[in-house]
Amino acid sequence: MKSNKLFAAFVLLLCFFEQSFAQEQVPAQSNNKSKNVFEDYYIGAYRFKSRNNWVLFGFGPNIKPSLPNFTNANMELSFNYYDRLDRLWQLSYQASTLNYLAFGGATVYLNAFNVGRGKVIEKQYYKIAAFAGPSLVYTNYYPFDSTKTINQDKSFGLGVQGQIQLIIKPVYDFGISISPFVNINTVQSVAGITLSIYGSNAMERKINY
């Protein structure tokens, strides 16, 4: 029930993005209004794309399921990009573990491959993005999992996932992200927060006057 409420909150936030927000940057010099063209804008002496792709990589704690005897964590690699029709997409891989992958020796109990559609608000020093979409999951059951988190030896399943990315970027193309997420699926639903490194391809070049 808690997972359903969490996912409902993500869906409501996406609807809010859909109706109330669109990333709008004032183009510096452009007479082409086609959505197939990334318009340029300027910050100081630097030129940027108003529709830019970005990558996140990080680790963080899981809130669900509750595993009191273990450090329950996640790792995520996420590629977020615009296609030629100016739609925002997310492709991501997420692993949920019994120990932090960053310190080695971790056991993956859920692998999730996610596809999502998104909306974004972007300013010079921050970006807020929200994604939702289908998820393909795969898991292994390990006998020492005394909480019986997973009930099958090996399982594939389907689900839906949602994520919000709260990105701070003191340098326009680099920064950090705090990303709460939920994945409701037929094998093992998970929810947590990922702390990630952010990198984008927004800056095109420095303008020499």
Instruction: Inform me whether the pLDDT recorded for 95 exceeds 80.
Output: yes
**Which of these CATH numbers, 3.30.930.10, 2.60.40.420, 2.40.160.20, 3.40.50.300, describes 2-206?**
2.40.160.20
- For residue 116, the model assigns a pLDDT of 96
pLDDT in tens, 96-121: 876 655 555 556 778 999 999 999 99
Q: What is the mean pLDDT of the chain?
A: 77
What pLDDT, on a 0 to 100 scale, did the predictor assign at position 155?
Answer: 78
Listed by start position, the domains of the chain span 2-206
Nearest alpha carbon to residue 73 among 94, 53, 90, 91: 94
pTM as predicted: 0.72
110 and 188 Cβ atoms separated by less than 8 Å: yes
How many CB atoms within 10 Å of residue 201? 13
pLDDT tens digits along 21-55: 444 443 444 444 444 455 666 666 777 777 889 99
Closest C-alpha to 182, from 6, 11, 60: 6
Please say whether the beta carbons of 76 and 65 come within 8 A: no
pLDDT of residue 35: 46
Q: Is the pLDDT reported for residue 133 higher than 90?
A: yes
Per-residue pLDDT at 25: 41
Select, from the ranges 4-8, 59-63, 113-117, 184-188, the one with the highest average predicted confidence (pLDDT).
Answer: 113-117
In the predicted model, is pLDDT for residue 20 greater than 50? no
Tally of CA atoms within 13 A in the half-sphere of 174 that contains its CB: 1
Strands 190-200 and 54-64: antiparallel
